[in-house]
Amino acid sequence: MSGPTDIPPIRPRDLNRQVLLTGRPEAIPEARHFTIAEASVPVPGPGEFLVRNIYLSVDPAQRGWASSEANYSQPVPLGNPMRALAVARVDQSRAEGISEGDFLYGWFGWQDFCVARPEAIMTRATRALPLAQFAGLLGLNGLTAHLALTRLGRPGTGDTLAVSTAAGGVGSLVGQIGKALGCRTIGLTGSDEKAALCREVYGYDVALNYKSVDVPEALKAAAPEGIDIFFDNTGGAILDAALRQMSVGGRVVQCGTASVASWTPPPTGPRAEREVLTRRLIWSGFVIFDHAAHFAAAAEDLAAWHASGQIDLRLEIKTGIELAPGSIADLYAGRNLGKRLIQIV
Amino acid sequence: MSGPTDIPPIRPRDLNRQVLLTGRPEAIPEARHFTIAEASVPVPGPGEFLVRNIYLSVDPAQRGWASSEANYSQPVPLGNPMRALAVARVDQSRAEGISEGDFLYGWFGWQDFCVARPEAIMTRATRALPLAQFAGLLGLNGLTAHLALTRLGRPGTGDTLAVSTAAGGVGSLVGQIGKALGCRTIGLTGSDEKAALCREVYGYDVALNYKSVDVPEALKAAAPEGIDIFFDNTGGAILDAALRQMSVGGRVVQCGTASVASWTPPPTGPRAEREVLTRRLIWSGFVIFDHAAHFAAAAEDLAAWHASGQIDLRLEIKTGIELAPGSIADLYAGRNLGKRLIQIV
């Protein structure tokens, strides 16, 4: 069995730096909601293992985990390390089947060290891929892009697929997987630079900078016969426009709502029910954890598409745990080019 | 083969009274948008047949057919008889397989006579049921209730099913079919009289008069663990409340938008995408004509449930073609108790 490639050196440490959630954000978590503190390195008990984190994942979903609003997961308690996925190396193990030196991708939090049980593991990093890609191409981004598109979007050859946050960690993969499955792809993104990336790197047939075009008109021009699948990471005005350009029987995959800063109170928008009815849409919500039974098969597909050069994920790796606190707000402000990771040094 | 029962006498006529659409409604079609005129009785050509209408159907969907707005069917041209389903007797036939004296349910319009081709037939009235029920229990109402609930709502035993316009032609059948399939049923309707009907006749476990309760609070109390299926005929504020009480993985079946008077410009409401996402809803639109391949099987089920006493449809039969023009507005104002038909005399 081949292992991960591009493994960075790890500096020994005596203390565990932790990014604690110390303020409850009303909307997007910002640097001021976190505090970095040091604790002693924890010791694994029976059935547990100790990992040393290497790459911390920064994900839009962390906004929901930091919020006190009802959500699909429990809020992170104030004073606790921020919930996060990470790629880590096992330092000590008292858990069966897990050995020192294994590389894992799992729920290890924004910190240097974590004691965990095997349930915290999402996947094991056993393939010949750069180590960081286990938190990207084969991580939450890749699994989300694949499973949300294929299981909810149900793409068919010749379908027109539109994607919001088209250059992002999930969106860029959705566009590439859509192409691999024979779709015509339209990407919506927030700068000319990202639109160029969409066309030149992610293979979108059309890329639109939503800040510089009239989105309803541009979608009508780009998809004159209608959008068959709208893969939405933004919500808001882009969703409103896409709903009104869907083809009959179109699928709307709600994977995120990044454009809406606060849901308290819920913002208003043009009512959607007539579009759902007359266009016979199927509008469904995607949360990755519902689809865990399909992770292994999806990872096979992703690795195969990667090996054949059909998909790749641009990583934006920032160095230093002190950059973690401000990084969620960066995503929501569009200040990232691809999937962001924090590399611990 | 047994035939329909309760066939009313039909008076001979020399002229064809037609309810013409002569004004284009901005919102709900009212009596003033129609004109009753007389024409000569048409003569069937080769492959055609002549029917004499007996029961004219009045349906919420006629609003869309009378509108000039983009919709799932072409607008009725001004000056033409209003598009409508009807139960009719064949007077003359030059079409294969159709004989004088056959009873048919099909697209015969709001008029005394119609020359049609076999494509206009929805179903043939060949079962032992009151003739009017072929435009109700086995007609658009029954087929819609059955296919929208089972194909989009996917009810399971023990599911909580909420229905808007719960006492109406479709809603009352949805509630009863839901009970037959093992659901707990909650009906929303617009008067205490209809709420009583829901409880006493249609077997709803809970019936709410939405005009006299706080709908969000009442739904929370009625479905403390969440609504698994919301069968929506109204849209608007009732939908907004139901979306926020759905269980994870819940299905929202959009079958109508009766509470919204006009879509030009689209009214606003609280944004729905976060509910779709966090509750992982499947929100889909139902238009009966997409499901024609399933009509025969659905009619079998409906007849069997009726025969075993599990479902029935209350008809409200008004007499006289002159009552047709104002009857669509009556539905939207809630001035009907059950499925409305116009009997021609």
Q: What CATH number does the domain containing A50 carry?
A: 3.90.180.10
Same domain, A28 and A159: no
B71 lies within 8 A of chain A by CB: yes
Please count the residues of chain A.
345
Same domain, B213 and B262: yes
CB contact under 8 A, B285 and A269: no
B239 lies within 8 A of chain A by CB: yes
Nearest CA in chain B to A261: B274
Partner-chain residue, chosen from B269, B276, B286, that has the shortest CB–CB distance to A271: B269
Interface test with A, best of B276, B288, B290 (most A CBs within 10 A): B276
Partner-chain residue, chosen from A263, A278, A290, that has the shortest CB–CB distance to B285: A278
Q: Do the domain assignments include residue B231?
A: yes
B270 lies within 8 A of chain A by CB: yes
Cis omega before residue A270 (within 30°)?
no
B289 lies within 8 A of chain A by CB: no
Q: Which CATH number fits the domain that encloses residue A250? A: 3.40.50.720
Beta strand pairing call for A246-254 and B246-254: unpaired
Q: Do the domain assignments include residue A5?
A: no
Interface test with A, best of B67, B255, B260, B271 (most A CBs within 10 A): B271
Partner-chain residue, chosen from A239, A268, A287, that has the shortest CB–CB distance to B270: A268
Q: What share of chain B is helix, strand, coil (3-state, %, to 5)?
A: 30, 25, 45
Compute how many other C-beta atoms are within 10 angstroms of the C-beta atom of residue A31. Answer: 15
Residues of B in Cβ contact (< 8 Å) with A274:
235, 257, 260, 263, 266
Beta-bridge mates of residue B207: B187
Q: Do the domain assignments include residue A2?
A: no
Separation of CA A259 from chain center:
15
Domain count, chain A: 2
A109 lies within 8 A of chain B by CB: no
Same domain, A193 and A219: yes
Which residues in A307-339 are b (16+ Cβ under 10 Å) and which e? eeeebbbbbbebeebebbbbbbbbbbebebbbb
Give the integer Cα–Cα distance in Å for A174 and A164. 10
Same domain, B130 and B145: no
Compute how many other C-beta atoms are within 10 angstroms of the C-beta atom of residue B215. Answer: 18
CB contact under 8 A, B280 and A287: yes
Residues of B in Cβ contact (< 8 Å) with A268:
268-271
CB contact under 8 A, B278 and A287: yes
CB contact under 8 A, B285 and A268: no
Separation of CA B252 from chain center:
18
Contact A104, A87 (CB under 8 A): yes
Cis omega before residue A46 (within 30°)?
no
Structure-token match 């960081």, residue found: A132
- Which residues 6+ apart lie within 8 Å of A224 measured at CB? none
B60 lies within 8 A of chain A by CB: no
Residues of A in Cβ contact (< 8 Å) with B273:
232, 235-236, 239, 254, 257, 260
B233 lies within 8 A of chain A by CB: no
Contact A83, A109 (CB under 8 A): yes
Same domain, A217 and A284: yes
**Residue B10 in tokens:** 């039909």
Q: Do the domain assignments include residue B306?
A: no
Q: What is the ipTM of this complex?
A: 0.88
CB contact under 8 A, A273 and B260: yes
- Which residues 6+ apart lie within 8 Å of A244 measured at CB? A216, A275
Nearest CA in chain A to B256: A277
Same domain, B22 and B70: yes
Which residues in A195-219 are b (16+ Cβ under 10 Å) and which e? bebbeeebbbbbbbbbeeeebeebb
How close B271 comes to chain A (CA, Å)? 5
Q: Do the domain assignments include residue A304?
A: no
A344 lies within 8 A of chain B by CB: no
Same domain, B213 and B114: no
Angle value at C-alpha A319, between A313 and A322, nearest 5 degrees: 125
| Residue ranges of chain A with per-residue pLDDT less than 70 | 1, 70-72
Residues of A in Cβ contact (< 8 Å) with B269:
268-269, 271
Give the integer Cα–Cα distance in Å for A118 and A125. 14
The DSSP-derived string for A105-129 is: EE---SBSEEEE-GGGEEEE--SSS
Give the integer Cα–Cα distance in Å for B344 and B52. 10
In chain B, residues 27-56 whose CB comes closer than 8 Å to chain A: none
Q: Do the domain assignments include residue A4?
A: no
Contact A113, A135 (CB under 8 A): no
Nearest CA in chain A to B271: A268
Same domain, B192 and B230: yes
Q: Do the domain assignments include residue A322?
A: yes
Q: Do the domain assignments include residue B296?
A: no
Percent of all residues in chain B with a pLDDT value above 70, rounded to a whole number: 99
CB contact under 8 A, B279 and A285: yes
Same domain, A126 and A256: no
H or E, element range at B298? helix B295-307
Partner-chain residue, chosen from A271, A281, A285, that has the shortest CB–CB distance to B266: A271
Partner-chain residue, chosen from A70, A266, A280, that has the shortest CB–CB distance to B271: A266
Same domain, B132 and B244: no
Instruction: Please give the pLDDT value at position A51.
Output: 98
Residues of A in Cβ contact (< 8 Å) with B279:
285
Angle value at C-alpha B95, between B93 and B98, nearest 5 degrees: 70
Torsion of CA B169, B171, B177, B183, to 10 degrees: -170
Same domain, B247 and B318: no
CB contact under 8 A, A236 and B269: no
Same domain, B124 and B233: no
pTM summary value: 0.88
Instruction: Please give the pLDDT value at position A33.
Output: 98
| Residue ranges of chain B with per-residue pLDDT less than 70 | 1, 70-72
Contact A110, A56 (CB under 8 A): yes
Give the integer Cα–Cα distance in Å for A155 and A293. 20
Partner-chain residue, chosen from A257, A283, A286, that has the shortest CB–CB distance to B274: A257
Tell me which residue of B317, B314, B335, B313 sits closest to B326, measured CA to CA.
B335
Angle value at C-alpha A286, between A155 and A268, nearest 5 degrees: 110
Range of the domain at A69: 15-136+313-343
The letter for the amino acid at B330 is D
Residue A58's alpha-carbon distances to A260, A329, B281, in angstroms, are 19, 10, 26
Residue B243's alpha-carbon distances to B150, B204, B237, B265, B292, in angstroms, are 20, 20, 10, 23, 29
Residues of A in Cβ contact (< 8 Å) with B268:
268-271
